């Protein structure tokens, strides 16, 4: 149970991102030192945005690519599924050979677990054979000197203290692992919740913009896409929230199991020391059998935690590589995010929708101005007020859609209602509106307000949409995990496998010296101390 739950916890960092899919300046003395600094600290992408030096940019890109490639080139490991050849590929959770090679890193623990169990069983079978076949022989009991009886007890004390120290290390690492896993899980769950909020905002803006257009040709495809995006993230968010308690429950079970093992190690160590001091032969044999079982599991858990330590190291290294340059990261191949050029094309479509809305509003303004001009012709004595200023288009023409500067005599999208309400009439009667110097009819003005509001919403959500389609949320989440969670997880796993090694080594020697002490304790009189050359009483 502990092994399966631990593996699930190690894989948790990628599961949610693979499920989400596409829904989603510093100074230095010379260029080379800056490149090295940037490559080591993962700020290449931010620096590229802050510099205009093309040579410097290219060197930074080369440094990032080299760093990313180095991050992918994990230490060569033996692959048991490929004729024990070295696995020299990168981090790839979809490759069976990667998992085979990383699981094989725990082979020492697995092998020692089996060997210790077999040796212990053979020893017990030997003792049973001797008890059955050798009990009838009259053997003179061997008598030991005081020194021969005390030095094994002294070694039992030493290895008991070592076992207790190992149990304390396991307990400490267990607590740290539970805390770090919960922190990592919370980071991912919060990221999914934030994505849900962003997607809802994007879907609402796209829907409003579509509904505000008079020409709704093609609007059904946009609304279907927005609804599909919203439904997908809602489903993922609900699944994550529903499984949150289950995941935390697995963590609690792992923590409880490891705590119980640490407690059993502590209890066995103390009981063994007490039995050694008191010379309780039957209890020493019982402790030997129980310790044999515990020794099997501690060696096994050493292999599992050592393997998970390598998985976490590889995962964090791959995440760091992704934050530096997602294009050269193995995770970039697993996460189906679109490239920046494609994302910009999608944003240009959004900008075109804003231009369409502005054109629609300006068309209404033109109609109102035309109606005002016609009224002046029909009624020469009519004071119809000044002409209505047109609305500023915030973007230039295609295909670049560059941000345009607005002249002072044009209105702004964000302040349309406030600035144009003076031209809005309370009714739809043209003559009444002309007489009140308010040429925009009430219905037309409401449509304009809706259109400008929708256009402003699209402008606001376009950076959010860009971050979603280019998976910037993955970059942000990976950065948080690498910065705050990776080091604690690796530290806790290091403590665990080191603790299990210490406990296992201590128990190997304890079992040996328990049996040595047991053979040197007289069967009938545990208080008798005689020299081996003394005459019998």
pLDDT tens figures, 100-119: 999 999 999 999 999 999 99
Judged against a pLDDT cut of 70, whether residue 61 lies above it is answered with no
Beta bridge partners of 424: 440
Q: Which position has the higher pLDDT, 159 or 70?
A: 159
Contact 426, 443 (CB under 8 A): no
Which sign does the torsion angle of CA 444, 446, 448, 451 carry? negative
Torsion-angle region of 95 (φ positive above 0: left; ψ -120 to 50: alpha; else: beta): beta
Q: How confident is the model at residue 381 (pLDDT cuts 50, 70, 90)?
A: low
Looking at residue 218, what is its pLDDT? 52
pTM: 0.68
Q: How far apart are CA 19 and CA 238, in angstroms?
A: 13
Q: Which position has the higher pLDDT, 318 or 29?
A: 318
Name the helix (H) or strand (E) containing 78. strand 77-79
Q: How far apart are CA 299 and CA 68, in angstroms?
A: 35
Helix axes 281-324, 54-72, angle to 10 degrees: 150
Q: How far apart are CA 176 and CA 251, in angstroms?
A: 12
Beta bridge partners of 79: 85
Q: What number of other Cβ atoms are within 10 A of residue 50's Cβ?
A: 9
Judged against a pLDDT cut of 70, whether residue 280 lies above it is answered with yes
Q: Which position has the higher pLDDT, 532 or 483?
A: 483
Whole-number average pLDDT of the chain: 76
Q: How far apart are CA 480 and CA 486, in angstroms?
A: 9
Q: How far apart are CA 16 and CA 155, in angstroms?
A: 51
Looking at residue 533, what is its pLDDT? 39
Range 68-72 average pLDDT:
43
pLDDT in tens, 452-500: 888 888 888 888 877 877 778 888 888 999 999 999 999 999 999 999 9
Q: How far apart are CA 132 and CA 448, in angstroms?
A: 101
Q: How confident is the model at residue 74 (pLDDT cuts 50, 70, 90)?
A: low
The SS3 of residue 219 is helix
Contact 181, 9 (CB under 8 A): yes
Looking at residue 138, what is its pLDDT? 54
Q: How far apart are CA 387 and CA 368, in angstroms?
A: 9
Range 380-386 average pLDDT:
60
- The overall longest dimension of the chain from CA atoms, in Å, is 146
How many CA atoms within 13 Å lie on the side-chain side of 509?
17
Q: How far apart are CA 438 and CA 371, in angstroms?
A: 11
Contact 142, 318 (CB under 8 A): no
Whole-number Cα distances in Å, 37 to 23, 25, 33, 249, 386:
33, 11, 6, 41, 62
pLDDT in tens, 242-267: 778 888 888 888 899 999 999 999 99
Judged against a pLDDT cut of 60, whether residue 19 lies above it is answered with no
Name the helix (H) or strand (E) containing 285. helix 281-324
DSSP, res 484 = I
Whole-number Cα distances in Å, 372 to 234, 377, 392:
50, 9, 21
Looking at residue 286, what is its pLDDT? 92
Q: How confident is the model at residue 308 (pLDDT cuts 50, 70, 90)?
A: very high
Judged against a pLDDT cut of 50, whether residue 9 lies above it is answered with no
Torsion-angle region of 116 (φ positive above 0: left; ψ -120 to 50: alpha; else: beta): alpha
Q: What number of other Cβ atoms are within 10 A of residue 186's Cβ?
A: 13
Q: Extract the tokens encoding 4.
A: 């399966």
Q: Which position has the higher pLDDT, 534 or 427?
A: 427
Q: How far apart are CA 159 and CA 166, in angstroms?
A: 10
Judged against a pLDDT cut of 90, whether residue 15 lies above it is answered with no
| Torsion of Cα atoms, 204 then 206 then 212 then 214, to 10° | -150
Q: How confident is the model at residue 31 (pLDDT cuts 50, 70, 90)?
A: very low
Query: What residues does each domain of the chain span?
Result: 25-137+147-195+257-337+472-519, 340-467
Counting residues of the chain whose pLDDT is more than 70, the rounded percentage is 74
pLDDT in tens, 130-162: 777 765 555 566 676 777 778 888 999 999 999
Range 41-49 average pLDDT:
32
Name the helix (H) or strand (E) containing 79. strand 77-79
Q: How far apart are CA 193 and CA 234, in angstroms?
A: 9
Q: How far apart are CA 120 and CA 291, in angstroms?
A: 10
Q: How confident is the model at residue 66 (pLDDT cuts 50, 70, 90)?
A: very low
Q: Which position has the higher pLDDT, 128 or 504?
A: 504
Contact 233, 204 (CB under 8 A): no
Q: How far apart are CA 211 and CA 225, in angstroms?
A: 14
Q: How confident is the model at residue 8 (pLDDT cuts 50, 70, 90)?
A: very low
Contact 465, 350 (CB under 8 A): yes
Q: How many helices, marked H, and strands, marked E, lie in the chain?
A: 16, 2
Q: How far apart are CA 264 and CA 301, in angstroms?
A: 15
Q: How far apart are CA 173 and CA 490, in angstroms?
A: 10
Judged against a pLDDT cut of 70, whether residue 65 lies above it is answered with no
Looking at residue 92, what is its pLDDT? 79
Q: Which position has the higher pLDDT, 106 or 127?
A: 106
Using a 10 angstrom Cβ sphere, with 0-12 exposed, 13-18 middle and 19 or more buried, the burial of residue 399 is: exposed
Range 364-376 average pLDDT:
82
pLDDT in tens, 189-228: 888 888 888 878 777 777 777 777 666 655 566 667 667 7
Q: What is the chain's length?
A: 537
Looking at residue 350, what is its pLDDT? 78
Closest among 421, 418, 424, 416 to 459, alpha carbons compared: 416
The SS3 of residue 440 is strand
SS3 content of the chain, % helix, strand, coil (to 5): 75, 0, 20
Q: Extract the tokens encoding 66.
A: 């080299």
Q: Which position has the higher pLDDT, 63 or 377?
A: 377
Q: Extract the tokens encoding 144.
A: 């030991």
Looking at residue 75, what is its pLDDT? 63
């Amino acid at each position: 149970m502990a092994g399966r739950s631990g593996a699930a916890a190690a894989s948790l960092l990628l599961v949610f991102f693979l499920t989400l899919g596409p829904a989603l300046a510093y100074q230095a003395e010379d260029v080379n030192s800056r490149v090295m600094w940037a490559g080591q600290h993962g700020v290449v992408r931010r620096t590229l945005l802050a510099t205009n030096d093309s040579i410097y940019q290219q060197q930074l890109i080369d440094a990032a690519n080299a760093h990313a490639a180095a991050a992918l080139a994990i230490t060569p490991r033996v692959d048991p599924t490929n004729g024990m050849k070295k696995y020299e590929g990168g981090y790839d959770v979809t490759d069976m050979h990667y998992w085979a090679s990383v699981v094989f890193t725990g082979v020492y623990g697995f092998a020692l677990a089996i060997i210790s169990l077999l040796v212990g069983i053979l020893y017990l079978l030997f003792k049973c054979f001797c008890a059955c076949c050798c009990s009838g022989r009259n053997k003179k009991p061997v008598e030991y000197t005081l020194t021969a009886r005390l030095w094994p007890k002294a070694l039992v004390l030493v290895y008991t203290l070592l076992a207790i120290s190992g149990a304390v290390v396991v307990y400490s690492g267990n607590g740290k692992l539970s805390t770090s896993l919960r922190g990592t899980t919370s980071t991912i769950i919060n990221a999914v919740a934030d994505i849900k909020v962003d997607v809802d905002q994007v879907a609402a803006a796209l829907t409003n913009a579509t509904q505000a257009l008079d020409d709704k040709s093609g609007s059904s495809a946009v609304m279907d896409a927005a609804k599909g995006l919203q439904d997908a993230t809602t489903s993922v968010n609900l699944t994550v929230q529903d499984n949150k308690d289950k995941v935390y429950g697995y963590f609690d079970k792992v923590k409880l199991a490891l705590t119980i093992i640490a407690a059993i190690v502590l209890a066995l160590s103390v009981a063994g020391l007490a039995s050694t001091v008191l010379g309780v032969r039957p209890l020493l044999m019982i402790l030997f059998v129980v310790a044999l079982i515990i020794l099997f599991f501690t060696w096994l858990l050493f292999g599992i935690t050592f393997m998970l330590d390598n998985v976490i190291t590889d995962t964090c290294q791959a995440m760091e590589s992704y934050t530096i340059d997602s294009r050269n990261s193995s995770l970039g191949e697993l996460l189906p995010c679109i490239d920046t050029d494609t994302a910009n094309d999608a944003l240009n479509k959004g900008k075109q929708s804003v231009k369409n809305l502005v054109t629609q509003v300006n068309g209404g303004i033109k109609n109102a101005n035309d109606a005002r001009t016609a009224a002046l012709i029909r009624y020469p004595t009519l004071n119809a007020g000044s002409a209505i200023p047109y609305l500023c288009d915030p973007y230039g023409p295609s295909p670049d859609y560059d941000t345009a500067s607005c002249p002072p005599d044009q209105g702004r999208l964000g302040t349309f209602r406030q600035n144009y309400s003076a031209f809005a009439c309370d009714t739809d009667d043209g003559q009444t509106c002309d007489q009140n110097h308010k040429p925009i009819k009430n219905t037309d003005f409401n449509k304009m307000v809706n259109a400008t509001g929708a256009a402003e919403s699209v402008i606001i959500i376009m950076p959010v949409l860009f971050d979603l389609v280019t998976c910037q949320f993955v970059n942000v989440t990976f950065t948080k995990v690498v910065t705050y969670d990776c080091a604690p997880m690796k530290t806790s796993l290091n403590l665990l496998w080191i603790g299990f090694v210490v406990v296992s080594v201590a128990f190997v020697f304890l079992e040996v010296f328990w049996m040595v002490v047991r053979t040197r304790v007289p069967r009938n009189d545990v208080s008798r101390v005689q020299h081996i050359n003394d005459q019998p009483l």
